[in-house]
């Protein structure tokens, strides 16, 4: 698939800005059982200690060989932003996030410390930034990373947010996402 041009990315911004701010929906749940592995699942358990059960977050750690941090336990991303760069829904999971939401994930709407109810779980937005990596650029194009990394893209958290689990529970595609 061809990567989006800067003009196509800019044209899609209005749809991202129109995302729900108080109650949205969980569109996709992805488990990453191994590096570069992706499993789209209908339902997942979020565990205080292990994160998304069956995901390798804890074992894999963070980029640069850093150990896993509960501040980046669950990655949440805007389904609208990923749809813009991915082109088709079957490519969303390539972004490498776990929860894809139809919800405004901007810094203004979800500053660090904000809690979100997703299914029966509660997540808290962490201060740790969620940034793009070489793999994201390879999958969606250098222009996508540039677009997501502009001042506006960073303020809108176009690459998504890191969260930690504060109340364990189950999540499934179609669940409401509520700002608490």
One pLDDT digit (tens) per residue for the chain, 180 residues: 789 999 999 999 999 999 999 999 999 999 998 887 899 999 999 999 999 999 987 676 555 565 667 888 999 999 999 999 998 999 999 999 999 999 999 999 999 999 999 999 999 999 988 876 778 888 999 999 999 999 999 999 999 999 999 999 999 999 999 999
Residue 77 burial by Cβ neighbours in a 10 Å radius (0-12, 13-18, 19+): buried
Cβ within 8 Å of residue 96, ≥6 positions away? 32, 38, 75, 133, 135, 136
- Give me the pLDDT at residue 109, please: 98
Q: How many CB atoms lie within 10 A of CB 9?
A: 23
Strands 176-179 and 74-78: unpaired
The pTM score is: 0.93
């Amino acid at each position: 698939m061809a990567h989006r041009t800067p003009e196509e990315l800019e044209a899609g911004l209005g749809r991202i800005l129109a995302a729900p701010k108080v109650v949205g929906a969980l569109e996709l749940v992805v488990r990453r059982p191994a590096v570069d592995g992706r499993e789209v699942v209908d339902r997942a358990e979020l565990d205080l200690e292990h994160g998304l059960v069956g995901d390798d977050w804890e074992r894999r750690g963070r980029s640069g060989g850093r150990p896993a941090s509960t501040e980046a336990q669950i990655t949440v991303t805007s389904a609208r932003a990923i749809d813009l760069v991915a082109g088709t829904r079957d490519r969303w999971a390539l972004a490498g996030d776990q929860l894809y939401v139809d919800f405004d994930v901007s810094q203004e709407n979800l500053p660090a410390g904000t809690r979100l109810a997703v299914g029966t779980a509660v997540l808290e937005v962490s201060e740790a930034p969620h940034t793009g990596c070489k793999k994201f650029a390879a999958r969606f194009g250098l222009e996508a990373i540039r677009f997501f990394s502009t001042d506006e893209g960073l303020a809108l958290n176009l690459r998504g947010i890191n969260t930690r689990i504060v109340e364990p529970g189950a999540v499934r595609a179609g669940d409401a996402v509520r700002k608490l």
